[in-house]
Amino acid sequence: MKFRIAAAATASLVLAACGSADDASTEAEADTVEVAADEAMEPVTDEPVADPDANVVADDAQAEAAAEVEAASVEAAGDNAAATAEAAMDAMAEESAE
């Protein structure tokens, strides 16, 4: 018990002796952050561009195909989740049987 206390005290003193923040890298970090902030605050000179396809409504065939793809994806994800749950239940049953 005394050894653990002595080891913990020694480790804390070693860590305390190592932690000094009096180096030049701390000051350099502040400059780096300030430069990035200044660049972010510069005015934007780019103009917006119109997208002619932004409000185009898909026809029924495209919408139906997209719905089928999404439904298949959801079903596959459900199957994978069910398989994972079944494997987990099997593993738990094996552990409890031992």
Evaluate whether residue 19 is within a structural domain: no
Average pLDDT on 28-43 reads 69
Residues 6+ apart with CB under 8 A from 66: 58
Range of the structural domain that residue 87 is part of: 61-98
Report the C-alpha gap between 95 and 89 in whole angstroms: 10
Contacts 24+ apart (CB under 8 A), 8-17: none
Evaluate whether residue 39 is within a structural domain: no
For the question of whether the overall pTM of this predicted structure is more than 0.75, the answer is no
* pLDDT attached to residue 78: 96
Evaluate whether residue 86 is within a structural domain: yes
Report the C-alpha gap between 98 and 92 in whole angstroms: 10
Structure-model confidence comparison of residues 78 and 19, the more confident one: 78
User: Could you give the number of structural domains in the chain?
Assistant: 1
